[in-house]
């Protein structure tokens, strides 16, 4: 890394510790984000997988939703995985009426579209710009049902986008933090430090 980025990891629920470990291996200065003040010195943010309805509620009760929405609107780079992708999407099918998303990327997703926990799977996906496949872990993953014109599709599985990017937003329906392969996290770090 040419510059040491301060990357926050939303640490309300979900697999945030695994994201922290991957980012630290890449030399990032990692901060856990639980309160609005924790966002203040972050150059970027990772929104981990977990349960999107629970995360939405915790964003409200921690008073983080509105400050984070403002930072995202101002261009804060963000990487959302699984539930994080759901929270970043423009529209979420099957969402509870009280569930909010940030609309940070022009994407429609369907929650848990690949099935229940027992239907979770792993597969190799070709990622644009990678010299070899990335081993992707899908756990109750969202399915992308619509991609906006300004969204770049970086990887697909069964003809469905599973890794996408738009301006300062990177989103994956799988869990790259559950792999020993840090290339997707490196892609995000490169977006932050470019």
Kindly state the tokens that stand for 11: 């640490």
Query: From the candidates 19, 20, 177, 185, which is the catalytic residue?
Result: 177
Residue 177 annotated among the catalytic residues of the structure: yes
Whole-angstrom distance, CA of residue 112 vs CA of residue 104: 20
Query: From the candidates 19, 20, 157, 175, which is the catalytic residue?
Result: 175
- In sequence order, the β-bridge partners of residue 161 are 156
Q: Find out whether 177 and 185 touch, Cβ atoms under 8 Å.
A: yes
Q: Find out whether 88 and 104 touch, Cβ atoms under 8 Å.
A: yes
Kindly state the tokens that stand for 21: 């470990």
Whole-angstrom distance, CA of residue 71 vs CA of residue 44: 10
Whole-angstrom distance, CA of residue 108 vs CA of residue 86: 8
Residue 157 annotated among the catalytic residues of the structure: no
Query: From the candidates 19, 82, 157, 185, which is the catalytic residue?
Result: 82
Whole-angstrom distance, CA of residue 172 vs CA of residue 94: 19
Catalytic residues: 82, 175, 177
């Amino acid at each position: 890394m040419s510059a040491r980025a301060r990357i926050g990891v939303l640490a309300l629920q979900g697999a945030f510790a695994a994201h922290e470990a991957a980012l630290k291996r890449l030399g990032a200065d990692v901060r856990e984000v639980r309160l609005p003040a924790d966002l203040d010195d972050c150059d970027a943010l990772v929104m981990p997988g977990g349960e999107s309805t629970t995360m939405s509620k915790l964003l409200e009760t921690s008073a983080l939703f509105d400050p984070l929405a403002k930072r995202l609107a101002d261009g804060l780079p963000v990487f959302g995985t699984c539930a994080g992708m759901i929270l970043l999407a423009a529209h979420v099918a099957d969402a509870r009426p009280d569930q909010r998303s940030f609309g940070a990327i022009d994407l429609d997703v369907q929650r848990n579209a690949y099935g229940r926990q027992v239907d979770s799977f792993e597969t190799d996906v070709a990622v644009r710009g990678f010299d070899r496949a990335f081993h992707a872990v899908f756990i109750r993953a969202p399915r992308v049902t619509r991609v906006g014109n300004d969204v770049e599709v970086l990887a697909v599985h069964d003809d469905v986008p599973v890794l996408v990017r738009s301006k300062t937003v990177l989103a994956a329906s799988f869990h790259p933090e559950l792999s020993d392969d840090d290339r997707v996290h490196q892609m995000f770090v490169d977006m932050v430090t470019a």
